[in-house]
Structure 1
Amino acid sequence: MKFIILGLFLFVGTCVTFPSFRDRIPNGNGVPNPCKGSSGMWEGVGHNIQIGGGPRNAFGKDFAAAGSKWTVELCSKDSDSDGRTNGEELGDPNCTWTKGGAPSAKATGHPGVCEPMDQDSCKSVNTRIVCL
């Protein structure tokens, strides 16, 4: 019973606490799910699993290193090594977005998941990504 309560607490804590980080990046609430055949959005943008929690993906590590803020350096970086900058994927190709503002475009990719996922160059990068 203790494990169930602890698990529930951790799950609720993840769902309630971490979504605030999505407000710190452009289109944080609209990052597409890159998993083949999946629809919807990737809620835990900085994590290896869609719902968040657990280990961070490359973008999550870079975001933490940037002080959990959207910076020109973070925007200009290609965290997932797919040839597109974080800004391009999140709809801020010119790196001008500020918190609370409207991005210049919709998110077209995931900055922490190399896409397309089935491409040979992405398979080794995405080894820890969990598609549900």
Structure 2
Amino acid sequence: MRFAILIALCLLVSVRGHPYYRDYIPNGYAVFNPCGANFWEAVGHYDPLHHTVLKNPFGVALSNNGHVWNEALCRLDSDGDGKTNGEELGDPNCTFTPGSTPSQASSGHPGICEPIGSGACADLAFRCGCHGHACIG
């Protein structure tokens, strides 16, 4: 029985997200949600509220960059919608450092191509409400 409880606790810890990563990016606690009125909490994931295993393109880029916001990550267009991560997160000049205030509010999501289903995003399989499971191609 103790072993089963230990395994359950380990699994719980392993699937929890890392909300403190939002401290490392501009407007991390106020990222635009293209699917609704609330902010996108799990910025690096396809599900806005849950830190699922499936990362969106920004989550992959942030992870590959050592979870560091710098000019290279800022200038990247992770989601392919024609706006840089910095533009979407309110740091168009790439000057944000953790603990500072970004120069602007977030205006887009760096890991979700928007407007969803139109223009550059038309060929992507992401749909709001699918939470990153069967709706991603």
* Fold agreement, TM-score > 0.5: yes
Distance 1:75 1:97, change over 3 A: same
Residues 118/87 of structure 1: CA separation in 2 closer, same or farther (3 Å cut): same
1:11 to partner: Cα distance: 8.2
For residue 98 of structure 1, report the CA deviation from its aligned partner. 0.3
Larger Rg: 2
Q: Give the corresponding residue for 2:21.
A: 21
Are the structure 2 counterparts of residues 22 and 11 from structure 1 closer, same or farther at C-alpha, using a change threshold of 3 Å? same
Question: Residue 116 of structure 2 aligns to a residue in which SS?
Answer: coil
Shift of the 124–113 alpha-carbon distance from structure 1 to 2, 3 Å rule, reads same
Which aligned pairs between 1:90-105 and structure 2 lie closer than 5 A?
Answer: 90-105=89-104
Q: Residue 10 in 1 paired to residue 12 in 2?
A: yes
Cα offset, 1:130, TM superposition:
5.0
Cα offsets for 1:67-88 (capped at 9, x unmatched): 0010100000000000000000
TM-score by length of 1: 0.83
Structure 1 residues 62, 129: CA separation in 2 closer, same or farther (over 3 Å shift)?
farther
What is the CA-CA distance between 1:6 and the residue it aligns to? 4.1
Task: Look up the SS of the partner of 1:63 in the other structure.
Answer: helix
Q: Is the 8 A contact 2:24 2:68 kept in 1?
A: yes
- Opposite residue 28 of structure 2, the aligned amino acid is G
State the shift of 1:121 in Å.
Answer: 2.5
Where does residue 54 of structure 1 map in the other structure? 53
Measured in 1, the distance between the counterparts of 2:85 and 2:102 equals 13
Q: CA RMSD in A?
A: 2.4
- Residue identity over aligned pairs, in percent, reads 44
Instruction: Provide the secondary structure at the position in 2 that maps to 1:62.
Output: helix
Distance (whole Å) between structure 1 residues aligned to residue 127 and residue 18 of structure 2: 18
The count of corresponding residues between Structure 1 and Structure 2 is 124
In 2, Cα distance between the equivalents of 1:28 and 1:41? 9
Deviations 1:86-112 (A, max 9, x none): 000000000000000000000000000
What is the alpha-carbon distance in structure 1 between the residues aligned to residue 85 and residue 119 of structure 2?
A: 21
